[in-house]
Amino acid sequence: MLWKLKKRQQQWLAEEKGTILKDWRGRVHIALAFPNRYAVGMSNLGFQSVYAALNTLDDVVCERVFYPEPEDIPLLRRDPGKLLSVESQRPLADFHLVTFSLPFENDYVNALEMLQWGGIPLRDEDRSESDPFVAAGGVAVFLNPEPLAPFMDFIFVGEAEALLPDFESLWKELREGDLPRKDFLKTLAEQVPGVYVPSFFEVSYSPEGALESMEPLAGCNIPRRIRYRRADLSQGKPCHTVIFTPHAEFSNVLLLEIGRGCGRGCRFCAAGYVYRPVRYHRADALLNAAEPVIREIPRVGLVSAAVSDHPEITFLCDAFLEKGGALSFSSLRADSLTPEIVTALQESRHQSVAIAPEAGSERMRRVINKNISVEQIHAAVDLLTEKGILHLKLYFMIGLPTETLEDLQAIVDLAKDIKHHVLKISRGKKRLGTITLSIHGFVPKAFTPFQWAPFAGVRELKDRSRWIQKALQKVPNVRVHFDMPKWAYVQALLARGDRRAAELLQRVALGGVAWTQALREFPFNPDFWVMRERGSEELFPWEIIDHGVKRSYLWEEYQRALKGVSSPPCRLEENCRRCGACSP
Q: What's the pLDDT band for 242 if we cut at 50, 70, 90? A: very high
Closest CA to 305 of 343, 338, 274: 274
Whether residue 241 is contained in a domain is answered as no
Whether residue 142 is contained in a domain is answered as yes
What's residue 423's pLDDT?
Answer: 81
Does the pLDDT value for residue 387 go beyond 90?
A: no
Mean pLDDT confidence for 226-251: 92
> Do 203 and 128 belong to one domain?
yes
What's residue 429's pLDDT?
Answer: 61
| Under 8 Å between Cβ of 276 and 581 | yes
Q: What percent of the chain has pLDDT over 70?
A: 98
End-to-end CA distance of the chain: 57
What's residue 212's pLDDT?
Answer: 96
Q: What's the pLDDT band for 572 if we cut at 50, 70, 90? A: low
Mean pLDDT confidence for 201-224: 95
Output the average pLDDT for the chain. Answer: 93
Whether residue 515 is contained in a domain is answered as no
> Do 180 and 84 belong to one domain?
yes
> Do 258 and 196 belong to one domain?
no
Whether residue 87 is contained in a domain is answered as yes
Q: What's the pLDDT band for 440 if we cut at 50, 70, 90? A: very high
pLDDT digits (tens, 9 = 90+) for 478-513: 999 999 999 999 999 999 999 999 999 999 998 889
Does the pLDDT value for residue 565 go beyond 70?
A: yes
CATH number, domain with residue 19? 3.40.50.280
Whether residue 369 is contained in a domain is answered as yes
- Into how many domains does the chain fold? 2
> Do 6 and 95 belong to one domain?
yes
> Do 52 and 122 belong to one domain?
yes
Q: What percent of the chain has pLDDT over 90?
A: 80
> Do 281 and 216 belong to one domain?
no
Q: How far apart are CA 491 and CA 583, in angstroms?
A: 32
> Do 121 and 267 belong to one domain?
no
pLDDT digits (tens, 9 = 90+) for 26-56: 899 999 999 999 999 999 999 999 999 999 9
Whether residue 525 is contained in a domain is answered as no
Q: Is 85 left (phi over 0), alpha (psi -120 to 50) or beta?
A: beta
Q: Is 253 left (phi over 0), alpha (psi -120 to 50) or beta?
A: beta
Whether residue 324 is contained in a domain is answered as yes
- Last residue within a domain, chosen from 192, 211, 227: 227
> Do 163 and 259 belong to one domain?
no
> Do 202 and 341 belong to one domain?
no
Q: What's the pLDDT band for 574 if we cut at 50, 70, 90? A: low
Mean pLDDT confidence for 403-422: 94
pTM above 0.85, yes or no: yes
Mean pLDDT confidence for 97-120: 97
> Do 407 and 455 belong to one domain?
yes
> Do 289 and 436 belong to one domain?
yes
Domain that holds residue 362: 254-496+548-574
DSSP letter at 158? Answer: B
Mean pLDDT confidence for 73-85: 91
> Do 119 and 192 belong to one domain?
yes
Whether residue 407 is contained in a domain is answered as yes
